[in-house]
Amino acid sequence: MPHVVIKCFPGRSEEVKKACADKVAADIAETLGVNLTSVSVAIHEVNKEDWPHVYHEEIMTDKDLYKDPGYTCD
């Protein structure tokens, strides 16, 4: 614990996704005061046409959302 799930459009290389996961894990470990070995990160690719579902059904309904998106998905 903790576990982080990142959702993004496809198209990034495995190298870029690994670098992102490493940086996120390091920041989470430092900020929350846990060992880096306790942090796991998943990256789920979501096609652009499917993003409205993520936006409306997952992001905008999340009662624990600490960082609002700076965009709308209309």
> Which residues are known catalytic residues?
2
* Number of CB atoms found within 10 A of residue 53's CB: 12
Distance between CA atoms of residues 67 and 61, nearest Å: 13
Q: How far apart are CA 8 and CA 10, in angstroms?
A: 6
